[in-house]
Chain A
């Protein structure tokens, strides 16, 4: 069965600093990978997705992620953090018809 592991339940960065949120996946077949963001008291929203096209995927709000098969990773990055990026971020994998989520990483942005 497919699964994802997010390294670090909490990440804190200063405004303007690089954001790096880590995700490793486990799958016996080529996976589809996703990053979602959740703001307080809201549902999850899609940031970006990898579906076996380009390995570097660009998403909304300046985020991007790179699929690295050799490392089984799909880390999320943003060159310069903004206060509005503070939220919880979830990595997810889909192989069959369902979607499995990681435990989430809470991003804090300090002024």
Chain B
């Protein structure tokens, strides 16, 4: 079974540009999570979905960030406009219904905003 697939793996962009990160969760997983990892703040939960519905977006930094999950096999995290402080590794993870289940992580998207 394929794992969580994220794209792009690396993105370098200039300040003010729109960035779209993509995630394909593991088939059959009900929950999808977006995390951001930086040296200063560690792993931060940005938002998570249950059955394609956003449940908690309290971790989204500001209105420049938005996330969607149009179907069970695809999610996007968009930053518009991007700023240098958005530079980080963004991880997508998914799991089955029970909260005792492990999260399966993608390999991450490393974003650099110049």
Contacts and interface: CB of A to CB of B under 8 A. Distances in A.
Given A51-B100, A90-B43, A98 B108 contact: no
Contact of B42 (A34, A43, A96, A104): A104
A99 B105 contact: no
Given A97-B55, A99-B33, A43 B48 contact: no
A103 B42 contact: yes
A5 to B, nearest CB: 12
A97 B31 contact: yes
B102 A98 contact: no
A23 to B, nearest CB: 14
Nearest to A103: B42
Interface residues of B, number: 21
B103 A32 contact: no
B91 to A, nearest CB: 6
A34 B31 CA distance: 17
A60 to B, nearest CB: 12
B4 interface: yes
Contacts of A101: 35, 42-43, 45
28 contacts: A32-B99, A34-B102, A41-B107, A41-B108, A43-B106, A43-B107, A43-B108, A44-B91, A44-B103, A46-B102, A46-B103, A49-B102, A90-B43, A94-B99, A95-B99, A97-B31, A97-B50, A97-B55, A98-B33, A98-B56, A99-B45, A99-B99, A100-B45, A101-B43, A101-B45, A102-B42, A104-B42, A104-B43
Given A32-B100, A43-B4, A44-B93, 19 more contacts: A41-B107, A42-B107, A43-B91, A43-B107, A43-B108, A44-B91, A44-B105, A46-B103, A49-B102, A90-B43, A97-B48, A97-B50, A98-B33, A98-B56, A99-B33, A99-B45, A101-B35, A101-B42, A104-B43
